[in-house]
A and B are shown apart, each in its own frame.
Chain A
Amino acid sequence: MESSPYQTKQRLIALICISTFVFFILFARLFTLQIISGQSLQAKAVDQWTRDLPIIPKRGDILDTNGNVLASSETAYTVYVRAKSVTDAEFVAKNLSSLLQLDYEGVYDKVSNKGVSEVTLKRQVDAEVVDKIRNFNFNGVYVASEPSRVYTYGNFLSQVLGYVSVDNVGQSGIEAYYDKYLKGIKGQILTQSDLVGVELKDKETLFQPGIDGLDVVLTIDSVIQSVVENVMQLIMRMHNPKSAKAIVMDVETGEILAMGITPGLDLNNLPRDDMQTLLDYGRNTLLTDIYEPGSTFKIVTAAADLQEYKNGNSKAFSDKHVFGSSNYRIIDGSKISCWTSHNNGRHSNQTLSDALNNSCNPIFTDIALSLGKSTFYKYLDLFGLGKTTGIDFSGEQSGILVPQTSVTNGDLARIGFGQSIAVTPLQLISAVCCAVNGGLLMQPYLVKEIKSKDTLAARFTPTVRNRAISAEVSAQLALMLEGVVSGGSGKHAYIEGYRVGGKTGTAQKFENGKIAEGKYVSSFVGFFPANKPKYAAIVIVDEPVGQHYGSAVAAPYAKIIFEQIINYKNIKPYV
């Protein structure tokens, strides 16, 4: 070198140093990315490497108490394509269009449109067709199975069973309340894919099976349920009301044996777009809607009186006590009358039994007022009024009860015969069962078991909420109510050779705070056998056309229900 070789060498060494230094900066950078942030980066990367296909578990069945399937899931198939993976669009389109009975042009468009990742060709395809498609082994054509919900009887128990969304999520009724047991646990298939989702054939596929949903066994007995449904249809034809509904309950346990509301919905053919119809006819109005019970409520008043008399309360009336015969009472300046005139000796010299038979309002105002609001309210509470029953169902109402602190004598007197109070039909039948089953208020329930195909997961047993009256008083009351059916206003429910007890009710409807002329809720609540009550039924007819007394519009139909139960259970007549 001619000149300054020293400087050149120094600068060369400097270059080596600079580049090595930069290399070390890059090493540090690599260390940060690969070692320090490596795992978190990889975790994000894994997300984009895999496509997961859910495996939808089979939704559990809903069975009746005898094991009859009421709701079940069938497998339907959906055929879809990923156009990007289709190799011979014409061939695929030709065969698929004939197998699926679809228009060739439409199918060809879908299998050749590489702009979209996935297109559904057809849903609800039969297994047979699916097998043929699978035999072709087309690239880019996939079949997914999806369960679809099938209700064995369509419009049957519809408000209780409820329904599911198109994605099989419970929306109402048992389907919603027990959704978490019915739905099962999703599984998934993880496949490795490239950027646009093309499956990588040689990479492993992770298969995680799902767990099928559990079956739910109802307390409902399909036989009794179908009796109730038929009888409700009959009421609709005979009396043309807005609706007819009934509950049949096991008096001792609180099990719901039937719940029928007409009109209902065909669960296999739901008007999914019509929210109003779904709400109007899909709602279980037996526990979501309230009504003024009228005379059926006198059972509670009678029970309170008998128990208080037993307890030695001097304000209570003995069962031998003879009440005043006037057909009205003046309470705080307002007149409360009996439903009929007391001329010609009618409703004279009545005992409590007679008053129940005659459904004579003044007597029950006497009892309510005499017991006083604190004692009377204590019984309302013991009979579960003013609070929900706790049934395993969503949307239950607690009814309307004037608060004890603000209740007037007028209110108290009216509550005595079932006015100025609103209850759900379920509350009332629960209270009546309590009055005649030995005095225990039971919690009504609809589901008795949750199980898989071979193992029991849970069993629900009767739950006592509280004791309201003594067994002795209860037995006494049951006999009095037997009298109402054998010789009183409930005689249309009488069955020769069987001990049926019960009480009718007819209440005027209120609209906008005023009595609605000609609009009634007619009802009957009854039970049998009176000496050891087992079956209770409440029948409610909303706005019957023509006749409106509970004795004529409701009691005869309760009788049919009881007769059918007697036939079905082969219950021997009383000798």
Chain B
Amino acid sequence: MDLKTNRQKSEKVGVDWLLLSAVAALVIIGLVFVYSASMYSAQKDFGNKYYFLTKQLVGALVGVVALAAMIFIPLDKAKKFALPMYIISLILLALVFVPGIGIENYGAKRWIGTGGFSVQPSEIAKFAFVLLAAKYMSDNSDKMKKFRGLLTVALMGVAICILVILEPNMSITMCVALVMLAMLFIGGVKIKHLALCILPLVVLVPVLIAIEPYRLARLMAYLDPWASPKGEGYQLIQSFYALGSGGWFGVGLFNSRQKFDFLPFAESDFIFAVIGEEIGFIGSVLVLGLFILLIYCGIKIAKKAVSRFECYLAAGISCVIAIQTLLNIAVVTGTIPPTGLPLPFISSGGSSLVVFMASVGILLNIDRNSRKQNRLAV
């Protein structure tokens, strides 16, 4: 009787349904809004209003496969691949600058690939960094209290940051830098060491702005978008118009007016503005609530993780999701200066969706391991 129950349990470890539902909901919301936000421009530019939806649907299907696969990979083996993966992602980042492989868009080289297929190496690099940092910090947990340990992890992050800045891509750089700080924080470094680490970043920001004058214009546009409603402030104002038109309950699904070419990048970086317009404040808060739930589940998995490595990995993945979500919403609401960063799971973009869904697979994998251990402990 007991044995039978145990056997049943061993066959059915179970998954974190809450987390899976939140992700499923976000991906579906993403599909709906990618279609809604892009239908007009897709019809106009590609003669097919389902153009972006189709691409996103392919991304979601591949993402489901990746997610499922990641649940069952042996994580201890994955740990061994951390360094090679990190090195590969650095190479991919460098390939962006190779003519013929790198794709230039809006004055930045952020993609590699040919024809219809392209990826942003920085999407992969974020997670490669998290993997390597988790491995290093778990293997050297004693060193983390010392400055040397901190410096090693910081260098892993900075290497990526430098390559990403050169693309140039300020927003992913910020994202990686914040993930790096979060990883160090989880890794148990001393707060004063962390503070020392933040200092050079604070100095770096004005330098970065000085290098690329367009960043200053962006910054000014952020401070007062209405000063240049046709220029630098345009995008932000259009985002405000979309959000403002939404009010409490929105103008109704598919009824956005801002998506008719007024709002640039409506289906990608500014998709949240279309969400705010179509389903209003209530809808926006509910969508963000799904993200909070997702992050909460991720951190909970980290807390229950069976090993330090898995704990750091789960926390790192949760941080990537949290940081990128917060940065995107902050940009769309004009809370921080505008930078281009997709909203995880929702913005149009197949490679980003696949990578994020895969990362959720890893979270579920870690969760499964802790469930298995619980079962053994019972």
Interface size on A, residues (CB 8 A): 42
Name the residue of chain B whose CB is nearest to the CB of A35. B281
Q: How far is B284's CA from A33's CA once the two chains are assembled, in angstroms?
A: 12
The reply to whether B244 and A37 contact each other, CB–CB distance below 8 Å, is: yes
Q: In the docked arrangement, what's the CA distance between A237 and B92, Å?
A: 98
Residues of chain B from 242 to 284 with CB closer than 8 A to chain A in the complex:
242-248, 257-258, 260-262, 276, 280-281, 284
Interface presence of A569 (CB below 8 A): no
B contact residues around A29 at 8 Å (CB): 330, 333-335
Answer yes or no: B296 CB below 8 A from chain A CBs. Answer: yes
Interface 9-residue window, one of B58-66, B146-154, B307-315: B307-315
Binds A, one of B180-188, B210-218, B338-346, B351-359: B180-188
Which residues of chain A are within 8 angstroms of B276 by Cβ–Cβ distance?
A: 30, 33-34
Contacts A41-B245, A45-B258; A16 near B311 (Cβ below 8 A): no
Q: Is the CB of B303 within 8 A of A34?
A: no
Assess whether A19 is in contact with B322, with CB atoms less than 8 Å apart: yes
Stretch of A7-15, A450-458, A560-568 contacting B (4+ beta carbons < 8 Å): A7-15
Cβ-based interface call for B302 (8 A): yes
Partner of A38 from the list B247, B261, B284, B299 (CB cut-off 8 Å) is: B247
Within 8 Å of chain A (Cβ to Cβ): is B128?
no
Q: How many A-B residue pairs lie within 8 Å, measured between CB atoms?
A: 127
| A7–B188 touching, CB < 8 Å | yes
* A40 at interface by CB-CB < 8 Å: yes
The answer to the question of B40 belonging to the interface, with a C-beta cut-off of 8 Å to chain A, is yes
Contacting chain B: which of A52-60, A190-198, A379-387? A190-198
Stretch in contact with the other chain, from A20-28, A119-127, A245-253, A459-467:
A20-28
Q: Which of A1, A33, A37, A39 contacts B308 (CB 8 A)?
A: A1
Quick check: is B295 within 8 A (CB to CB) of the other chain? yes
- Counting CB contacts under 8 A, is A31 at the interface? yes
A4 within 8 A of B: yes
Distance of B129 from chain A, by nearest CB (Å): 17
Which residue of chain B has the shortest Cβ distance to A48 in the bound complex? B262
Q: Considering only CB atoms, which chain B residue lies closest to A9 in the complex?
A: B303
Pick from B141, B246, B288: contact of A23, CB under 8 Å? B288
Give, as a whole number of angstroms, the nearest-CB distance from A249 to chain B: 60
Contact of A196 among B261, B285, B295 (CB under 8 A): B261
A87–chain B nearest beta-carbon distance, Å: 12
Cβ contact within 8 Å between A22 and B326: yes
B241 x A45 contact (CB < 8 A): yes
Inter-subunit contact A34/B288 (CB<8 Å): no
Contact B302 A12, beta carbon cutoff 8 Å: yes
Cα distance, A34 to B280, chains bound together (Å): 7
Encode contact with A along B288-329: 1 for CB under 8 Å, 0 otherwise: 100110011001001100011001000100110010001001
Q: What B residues does A20 contact at CB under 8 A? A: 292
**A42/B241 in contact, CB under 8 A:** yes
Contact mask A188-206 → B, CB, 8 Å, 1/0? 0000111110001000000
Cα of A574 to Cα of B25 in the assembled complex, Å: 105
A17 to B262, CA, bound (A): 37
User: Looking at the complex, which one of B241, B281, B307, B315 makes contact with A12 (CB distance below 8 Å)?
Assistant: B315
Determine the distance from Cα of A38 to Cα of B242 in the docked complex, in whole angstroms.
Answer: 9
**Does A19 lie within 8 Å of B243, measured CB to CB?**
no
Question: Is A44 an interface position by the 8 A CB rule?
Answer: yes
Q: B281 and A15: CB pair below 8 A?
A: no
Give the residue name and chain of the B residue nearest to A41 (CB): B244
- Chain A hits for B240, CB < 8 A: 33, 37, 41
Known: A12-B303, A16-B299. A4 touches B188 (CB 8 A): yes
Interface centre among A13, A20, A34, A196 (most CB of B within 10 A): A34
Q: With the chains together, A195 CA to B308 CA distance in Å?
A: 53
Interface string of A218-248 (1 = CB under 8 A from B): 0000000000000000000000000000000
**Given the interface contacts A8-B188, A200-B260, does A30 sit within 8 Å of B285 by beta carbon?**
yes
Per a CB cutoff under 8 Å, which of B40, B295, B330 touches A19?
A: B295
- Contact, CB under 8 Å: A15 / B186: yes
Chain B contacts with A in 34-76, Cβ cutoff 8 A = 40
Cα A192 to Cα B255 with chains together (Å): 13
Q: Which chain A residue lies CB-closest to B335? A: A29
A192 to B241, CA, bound (A): 16
Given the interface pairs A19-B295, A38-B244, A42-B241, the reply to whether A26 lies near B182 with Cβ below 8 Å is: no
With a cutoff of 8 Å between Cβ atoms, the chain B residues found around residue A27 in the complex are: 285, 288
CB neighbours of B257 from chain A (8 A): 45, 49, 192
Say yes or no: A30 contacts B262, CB within 8 Å: no
Contact B292 A11 (CB under 8 A): no
A sample of 5 more A-B contacts (CB under 8 A), given A33-B333, A49-B262, A194-B261, is: A2-B308, A4-B188, A8-B188, A23-B288, A26-B330
Q: List 15 A-B contacts (CB under 8 A).
A: A7-B188, A8-B308, A8-B311, A15-B185, A23-B288, A30-B285, A30-B333, A34-B244, A34-B246, A34-B276, A35-B281, A42-B241, A44-B241, A195-B260, A195-B262
Report which A residues bind B (CB closer than 8 A): 1-4, 7-9, 11-16, 19-20, 22-23, 25-27, 29-31, 33-35, 37-42, 44-45, 48-49, 192-196, 200
Q: Which 10 A-B pairs have the closest CB atoms?
A: A41-B244, A195-B261, A45-B241, A194-B260, A34-B281, A42-B245, A29-B333, A33-B243, A19-B322, A38-B244
